[in-house]
Amino acid sequence: MADSIVTHSRSRDLDKLLLRPGNLVGPTFEPGVELRDDLRDYARVLVVGAGGLGCELLKDLALSGFKNLEVIDMDRIEVSNLNRQFLFRMEDVGKPKAEVAAKRVMERVSNVNIVPHFCRIEDKEIEFYNDFNIIVLGLDSIEARSYINAVACSFLEYNSDDKPQEETIKPMVDGGTEGFKGHARVILPGVTPCFECTIWLFPPQVKFPLCTLAETPRNAAHCIEYAHLIKWDEVHSGKAFDADDPEHMKWVYAEAVKRAELFGIPGVTYSLTQGVVKNIIPAIASTNAIISAACALETLKIASGCSKTLSNYLTYNGVGGLHVKVTEFVRDKDCLVCGPGVLIELDTSVTLEKFIHQLEEHPKLLLSKASVAHHGKNLYMQAPPVLEEMTRPNLSLPLYDLLGKIPKDVVHVSGITSKNDKKNSSLRKLRVVFKGIDGVTDMDMAGGA
């Protein structure tokens, strides 16, 4: 009896959305108990990030009727997280965020199953992400958002009229906060703008002149960047700095303190060192809660159709009172990520190895150390070593044969791109057309579907 009362109380507000008709519902919405049960039993949602926003998202989604949740995060809990990442306690410091967050939510919300993944998002196979109905982002990194966006867009397929096929659309809900400001957005690849379509929304990161860092530092950030950008290379002679390695971060902090003492500059702390090196933006718990609520509601709307989704970008500003605005951005039809794909014309004799080399020189791609997949099958993988060895024999084979001798097809390539002297993991969709084969039209060669 007690359990039924608790369940009824928890689903009371949810039932108002799912059990009765309305004027703003989606075209496929059918209210009823079956919809609520299907949401619990079949909807699978992945939360990317288990920090301040990710903790709120897991809690809100679990309380919104989603039973099957998974969360992925590569970080461990630090003392500085405890003021806003409410699922964590002092005794959790040093433990994986994803594992502790999943455990805490399941302790408080009954009948919810949350599977944690303590790893980098790039460590998962692409098909891992295809198993989810919706992907919800609680990230603080432009690079991580860009990668997940590319993964979701890689599942998108277009028909002969360059219209996205609805069953291949992988919905995403993205949230972000910066102090008292935040945003929530809905991304339906091929329909709404993807992350890359509106990358210009993010301001360029602040760069300090090296001469200032080396000769006339004026504040704590200058001392930290000196240790990070100059001193590290001097001492470690080419060893790559890993911002996610605590020992590397502690070394930079210690050197920054020495630098600050030399010039009489106050304010260097370990927390500030992390913020400067990793470009961490100050977070406030109340902003995380507001943005998470907006993201959870959009996730529920996408999964159930109980209302029309946000169209398509919500901004929140709590600096001088309360200001909320929704803007409808327009999708870039020529986007390299959510568009039909970059056209590549090849001879049937081109081997997989030569194809990979061409990706490095292609002006739109400039993709190095590329791995190639076709319809979920790995044709060649750069890593891990066991997969590289398994797929190595394919390098000498013609790509035309590996694709089943089909005149035109789509392949997905992942590798490293460089932008502003920074290397990032990237995923791209390519439309490969083989020249001189029956079935290839002039429109195909010109860039049609």
Strand order in the sheet with 368-374: 342-346, 422-434, 408-419, 368-374, 377-380
| Candidates 119, 153, 194, 211; catalytic one | 211
Instruction: Give pLDDT, residue 447.
Output: 47
Instruction: Give pLDDT, residue 9.
Output: 57
pTM: 0.73
Which residue ranges of the chain lie beneath pLDDT 70? 1-10, 203-209, 280-282, 419-422, 438-449
374 contacts 409 by C-beta, under 8 angstroms: yes
Give percent of the chain above pLDDT 90. Answer: 39
Active site (annotated) includes residue 338: no
Instruction: Report the interhelical angle of 33-41 vs 2-18 (nearest 10°).
Output: 110
Domains of the chain: 2-202+282-327 (3.40.50.720), 210-277 (1.10.10.520), 342-446 (3.10.290.20)
Instruction: Give pLDDT, residue 443.
Output: 46
